[in-house]
Amino acid sequence: MEMVRDFVNEARELLDDAEPQIIEMEKTALGSGRVDEEILNAIFRLFHSLKGTASFLDFQAISSFPKMPLRMPLRQGMLLVSSQCRSLPLGPPRRRWG
């Protein structure tokens, strides 16, 4: 149970770290018309870490969530960044655990 509690704490921290980066990516994209690849890569590294830990704990709902289908369209400018995209990778509102 302690590992699950640690995972939840780590996940919260990662999501807290991702949120300002997602907002910054949105601002940059809206201002320049392009996604800042450094910010995009940092965001995907955070989610990759989250998925890796979830996979270790066999949390398949998280570890099987696809992240790569969004990466290339964002890089290539085929997917526009807007305030509606801000919550896309975060999903529904986070639930408080223990």
Inform me whether the pLDDT recorded for 78 exceeds 60. Answer: no
Inform me whether the pLDDT recorded for 88 exceeds 60. Answer: no
More confident residue, 84 or 8: 8
- The vertex-89 CA angle with 87 and 95, nearest 5°, equals 75
Q: What CA–CA distance (Å, rounded) separates 22 from 24?
A: 5
Query: What residue ranges do the domains of the chain occupy?
Result: 2-80
Q: What CA–CA distance (Å, rounded) separates 58 from 56?
A: 5
83: confidence class by pLDDT, cuts 50, 70, 90: low
Q: What CA–CA distance (Å, rounded) separates 19 from 21?
A: 5
Q: What is the DSSP letter of 92?
A: S
Inform me whether the pLDDT recorded for 65 exceeds 80. Answer: no
- Angstrom CA distances, 13 to 16, 18, 81, stand at 5, 9, 23
